[in-house]
Amino acid sequence: GENVEQHPSTLSVQEGDSAVIKCTYSDSASNYFPWYKQELGKGPQLIIDIRSNVGEKKDQRIAVTLNKTAKHFSLHITETQPEDSAVYFCAASIGNQGGKLIFGQGTELSVKP
Amino acid sequence: DTAVSQTPKYLVTQMGNDKSIKCEQNLGHDTMYWYKQDSKKFLKIMFSYNNKELIINETVPNRFSPKSPDKAHLNLHINSLELGDSAVYFCASSPAGIDEQYFGPGTRLTVT
């Protein structure tokens, strides 16, 4: 079946450093790749997304890259701050199944001051 | 002015009981979803409704029954609760034909 693999499961960085989280997906028909940030006790919050016709997208300190040939995409956070600490999830849409998203296992990011 | 809201936020109940979780969105979206997040934080879709019509129905026990009275509401009813149903349940919504999904704050269900 379709799946999304996400690495690493935990990531600890010093404030100001960069953080990179990587995901691979299995469904070659996937065309939408969102990233979510989940803080403790809250729902996942959409932070950035990319579609298959674009290779890279940036929003301030956050960027996402997509390699459709290799079926992998990555989240890059620069100049990390303690408030970036959270669990991050990648996801991939599944073919033409009406908005169905398959999520990665999550990465717990800790930014140490 | 919460975009996607869920009630209750916490639900503690005993095995065998029947309970409901309610979800409402004021974004004008046509599609709503229910997700289950287990103790390892894995998020998995359960159901999706588009304009009150069921469009995604994953392999979920038939003790779980979604109901959409209108496109702004999607409720989840669970019969004969089991210990393994303990999890956080999230409602989400998205505009028709667009993939961005916006999540509610979650309902933590604990079955004892």
The answer to whether B64 and B81 have CB atoms below 8 angstroms apart is no
The two structure tokens encoding residue A44: 């996942």
Q: Do A44 and B31 touch (CB under 8 A)?
A: no
Residue A34 contacts B where some CB pair is shorter than 8 Å? yes
Residue B101 contacts A where some CB pair is shorter than 8 Å? yes
B-chain residues within 8 Å CB-CB of A97?
Answer: 56
Q: Using one digit for the tens of pLDDT, what is the confidence trace for A59-103?
A: 999 999 999 999 999 999 999 999 999 999 999 998 766 678 999
b/e sequence A49-69, b meaning 16+ C-beta within 10 Å: bbeeeeeeeeeeebbbbbebe
Q: Residue A61 to residues A18, A57, A77: CA-CA distances in angstroms?
A: 9, 11, 6
The two structure tokens encoding residue A27: 């469904």
The answer to whether A29 and A94 have CB atoms below 8 angstroms apart is yes
Q: Using one digit for the tens of pLDDT, what is the confidence trace for B37-61?
A: 999 999 999 999 888 888 888 878 8
B-chain residues within 8 Å CB-CB of A4?
Answer: none
Q: Is the pLDDT of residue B97 over 80?
A: no
